[in-house]
Amino acid sequence: MKVLKTFLLRVAFSLLVLVSAQAQVTFQAAPHSFEEMLGKAQETGKHIFIDAYTDWCGPCKLMDTEVFSTTFVGDYINERFVSYKFEVEKDSLGQQLAMKFGISGYPSFIVLHPNGKLRLVTLGYNDAEGWLKGFMDKMNAPEESFSGISTTLALEWPELYIKAFVPENGRRAFPDSTSLMAYLAEKNWYDEIPFRIAQRFQWLLPEAYQAKIIDNKERVTSLFGADAYYNFTLRYFEQKIQKAIKAAAYEKAMTHITDLETALPDSEGNARFYRIEVYLKQQDFNALTALLQAQIDDLHPREINHYSWELYLECEDMSVLNTAATWMSTVVKEHAEYPYYDTYAALLYKTKHYEKATSWAIKAIALGKKQGEDTSETEALLDELLKK
């Protein structure tokens, strides 16, 4: 019902944690210019690490409290990088960086060579061990050319693009499809500025134009990186899938999901998510349960919790609900988190295991209060159980 913050500790990091000697990630004072950042990196011979965040972004705050505050992440980053933080909706240099590298999701992390050439961009929160492992994997992977991305920060962006990154009166503005296509009509879409604009406003592009970019995988990958191509292609199929689901065209949605898997073999998680969405819309809980059961060992506990809660809310089939309760019984044995205890208690209640449900509701309330959670829903459930 609620999202877990942490993954299992990875054994591979245990020794690194033990030998860590430094403190958290050291972020430099805000520079006055891009050139100042490059100068600092050139003096030290280190790469530049940039945390691109926003004040309203919850996962960005978790990166500060749960990831950058750890000694082993600090050790790794401090040894190799000159690090900076930018609130990319308020800081002018942060806004320029967001426009330059197409940052529209948060938290995002940019790594630059000392000369300003892009090394990588990565997105998203994870627990400390998971985040560092993923980041190290990217840093250790063969370097991409990014031949379409210049080392110049201040490009001549059109007003329609600037307004999407620089809020006026607290609001960002977006073009309509007509004005966007009018701008792009005479441009080479594989030049840096037009590509960033097409990337930023992809949902406004006609499907045929998106398909042209997707059909040029090698070119896009060479110019702007594999992630740029992957994300553009993923969004293309997601739009088609979401449109079909909204129209209740579930068979068509399933076809698009299969097409997504064919185009992007690494998109299993996205494909699974949309198949589950289709099954939920169809109220096909047996198919949903079978899909989840087949992949249960690969699912994170927060995913198991989320879908178990969905089944609790939407399903009345006792066989399905008992299966979900079995999943959650395994989760609560290994993870003492209020959301998991709460979901398990709710499923036990709905499957009429009242004595056991009462016990787990009491445990959930005690744990939730200890963890600073709002336990009112579980308390209401316990009141119902005590009436049985």
In the predicted model, what is the mean pLDDT of residues 264-281?
95
Residue 370 inside a domain? The answer is: yes
Cis peptide before 339 (omega within 30 of 0): no
Contact, 109 vs 52, CB < 8 A?
yes
Range of lowest pLDDT (170-174, 302-306, 370-374): 170-174
CATH number at residue 145: 3.40.30.10
Per-residue pLDDT at 64 exceeds 50: yes
Residue 335 inside a domain? The answer is: yes
Contact, 165 vs 88, CB < 8 A?
yes
Question: What pLDDT sits at residue 262?
Answer: 96
Question: What pLDDT sits at residue 214?
Answer: 94
Question: What pLDDT sits at residue 225?
Answer: 96
Residue 327 inside a domain? The answer is: yes
Question: What pLDDT sits at residue 258?
Answer: 97
Per-residue pLDDT at 9 exceeds 50: no
Measured CA to CA, the distance from residue 341 to residue 378 in angstroms comes to: 10
Beta sheet of 108-112, edge-to-edge order: 81-87, 47-53, 108-112, 118-123
Domain boundary residue, one of 124, 155, 186:
155
Per-residue pLDDT at 171 exceeds 60: yes
Question: What pLDDT sits at residue 183?
Answer: 95
Measured CA to CA, the distance from residue 311 to residue 182 in angstroms comes to: 47
Range of lowest pLDDT (7-11, 81-85, 140-144, 296-300): 7-11
Residue 148 inside a domain? The answer is: yes
Question: What pLDDT sits at residue 111?
Answer: 98
Residue 229 inside a domain? The answer is: no
The C-alpha torsion from 199 through 203 and 209 to 210, rounded to 10°, is: 60
Residue 110 inside a domain? The answer is: yes
pLDDT tens-digit map of 347-382: 999 999 999 999 999 999 999 999 999 999 999 999
Please give the share of the chain, as a percent, with pLDDT higher than 70.
94
* Tokens linked to 92: 């002018």
Residue 267 inside a domain? The answer is: no
Question: What pLDDT sits at residue 113?
Answer: 97
In the predicted model, what is the mean pLDDT of residues 5-24?
42
CATH number at residue 379: 1.25.40
Question: What pLDDT sits at residue 20?
Answer: 40
Question: What pLDDT sits at residue 7?
Answer: 36
Q: Cβ–Cβ contacts within 10 Å for residue 292, how many?
A: 21
* Tokens linked to 218: 């090698």
Per-residue pLDDT at 14 exceeds 50: no
Number of separate domains in the chain: 2
Measured CA to CA, the distance from residue 58 to residue 89 in angstroms comes to: 15
Where helices occur in 52-157 by DSSP H, the ranges are 58-62, 71-80, 92-101, 128-140
In the predicted model, what is the mean pLDDT of residues 240-248?
97
Range of lowest pLDDT (12-16, 108-112, 265-269): 12-16
C-alpha distances in Å from residue 173, one per residue of 57, 165, 166, 170, 315: 19, 8, 9, 10, 41
Domain that holds residue 370: 301-388
Contact, 148 vs 223, CB < 8 A?
yes
Contact, 387 vs 357, CB < 8 A?
no
Q: Could you tell me which residues come within 8 angstroms of residue 193 by beta carbon, excluding any fewer than 6 positions away?
A: 155, 156, 157, 158, 161, 187
Per-residue pLDDT at 228 exceeds 80: yes
Domain boundary residue, one of 122, 155, 188:
155
Per-residue pLDDT at 1 exceeds 60: no
Domain boundary residue, one of 101, 121, 155:
155
- What does the mean pLDDT of the chain come to? 92
User: Per-residue confidence at 342, pLDDT binned at 50, 70, 90?
Assistant: very high
Residue 44 inside a domain? The answer is: yes
Question: What pLDDT sits at residue 10?
Answer: 38
Per-residue pLDDT at 4 exceeds 60: no
Three-class DSSP labels, 175-210: CCHHHHHHHHCCCCCCCHHHHHHHHHCHHHCCHHHH
